[in-house]
Chain A
Amino acid sequence: MTEIKHTYQAMFLLDNQEVRKGYAEARDWVRSTLEKHGAEVSVLRLWAEQELAYPIGGRHRATYLLGWISGTGQSVNEAKREMYLVGPVFRVLFLKAESIPEEELAYGIQDLKEGELVIPEDLPEEEEEEVYAEDLEPNVAEGEEAAAEGSSEEVTEPETPTEPTEEAQEAAAKSDGAEAAEEEPGEDVKPEEESSNV
């Protein structure tokens, strides 16, 4: 089976965290991966560093690398498969092209000067949790409503019971004994009127 070489336009989305470590390293990784699988890289340049239209894998910004390569379909597919497994590239698009434009050929393998690529820091994600009353358990929902109603009132903490002293215990024992003595005769009292009638 003959393998025909084609020219491809390729766009690589690079992880900004990897590009911060070094743009040249990330670019060289892409280049070496393509060449390892038999593709020739004619142009590899920075296209943009911009915000993504939708987050991809928690990333909100990415660095776009534009490349023009020539190789077989198999080499391109193998390179793409490896890029999705390891490395700084998280999305790739290869498009077949008729030829490489002269404007693009002038870029070649682009090196950037210091300060040419400024990557802003990632902002922390704001987690917006929408809580609906229907999702809450009934007791929790009722408790929250009750708390909201009684929020204006002052809340007093219940007093903790203190341990009774020895004197208080003795006094309590005496009073209990006296109460028991008073109650005993009362229970045994029988109505005298009933007995007299008999």
Chain B
Amino acid sequence: MFENVEPEIVGPPKGEFDYKDVETFTRYLDANGRLYSRKRTGLDAQGQRQLKKSVKFARFLALIPYGA
């Protein structure tokens, strides 16, 4: 009845996350601007926290929208 579909893993970036590098971390956001989970991003805990902070800084500076 329910298919257990494995999500596509994005994978870690080449360097560290930077809030100014919008193109890099928009790969980790869905169409509504929400962050993918660790299961889908394939990042470790530290990387996921860096990503979360970068996205929030970018949203504050109106580089990316808060929602769809």
Interface residues of A (CB under 8 A from B): 11, 13, 47, 52-54, 56, 62, 64, 66, 91, 93, 95
Contact yes or no, A62 B62, CB < 8 A: yes
Interface size on B, as a range, is 10 to 19
Total residue contacts A-B, CB cutoff 8 A: 25
Q: Is the CB of A54 within 8 A of B65?
A: yes
Within 8 A of A (CB), among B41-68: 57, 59-66
Interface secondary structure of B, over-half rule: loop
Say whether B20 contacts A91, CB under 8 Å: no
Q: How far, in angstroms, from A111 to B60 measured CA to CA in the complex?
A: 27
Can you give 18 contacting A-B residue pairs, CB < 8 Å? A11-B61, A13-B62, A47-B20, A53-B59, A53-B63, A53-B64, A53-B65, A54-B65, A54-B66, A56-B62, A62-B62, A64-B61, A66-B20, A91-B60, A91-B62, A93-B57, A93-B60, A93-B61
The docked-state distance in angstroms from the alpha carbon of A94 to that of B59 is 14
Nearest opposing residue in chain A for B33, CB measure: A53
A46 to chain B, nearest CB (A): 13
Q: How far is the CB of B5 from chain A (nearest CB, A)?
A: 31
Query: Taking CB as reference atom, which chain B residue is nearest A11?
Result: B61
